[in-house]
Amino acid sequence: MHAIGSEADARFILEWVKRSRGEYGVSAEAPEGWEYIGRGSFRSVWRSPEGVAYKVNHHDRDSQSLSEIQNLRQAWRKKAPKGCRLPRFAEYRPAGEVVVAMEVIKGKTLLAKYGYPGYLNHHRDEYRSIGSAYGLSDMHEGNVMIDEDGLLVPVDFGC
């Protein structure tokens, strides 16, 4: 949708994750040139050498990547709330599985920048409006980043 990432990188990291299962379904070791960013209950996130984040399912029954693509498409059709912008993304389907490629945001999560519960004292109205505007139920201090321009950027649409 936004010409970010590549099918080859999506296929590479998907295959690598499937071969490298560890605790909770994923190993934190990254292939050469890649960086492990983190994981949720069902997916892990990896930064490619080109600087694109790839979200890969590491649980066979997960459908978060498919719902994330649907939610991102819907969000891009709407106007972003004041003080917010959306990340660029693309969908890849190597081996029939959905891999989400997403822009890596240069900045910090609300939690990293302000701590808990400090984030509540900063951007509270904007933070709440993001979840409401896009119908996201999993908005929390770790799923919203502040970019270099001071804009809030939701980074998890997989709810």
Cβ partners under 8 Å of residue 123, min gap 6: 83, 110, 146, 152
Q: What is the mean pLDDT of residues 4-33?
A: 84
Number of domains in the chain: 1
Q: Is residue 107 part of a domain?
A: yes
The C-alpha atoms of residue 1 and residue 74 are separated, in whole angstroms, by 12
CATH number of the domain residue 73 falls in: 3.30.200.20
Q: Is residue 139 part of a domain?
A: yes
Q: Which residue has the higher pLDDT, 103 or 21?
A: 103
Tokens, residue 19 = 């071969």
Helix (H) / strand (E) containing 70: helix 64-77
In this prediction, residue 35 has a pLDDT band, given cuts at 50, 70 and 90, of very high
In this prediction, residue 121 has a pLDDT band, given cuts at 50, 70 and 90, of low
CB atoms within 10 A of CB 159: 15
Supply the Cα-derived Rg of the chain in whole angstroms: 15
Q: What is the pLDDT of residue 120?
A: 58
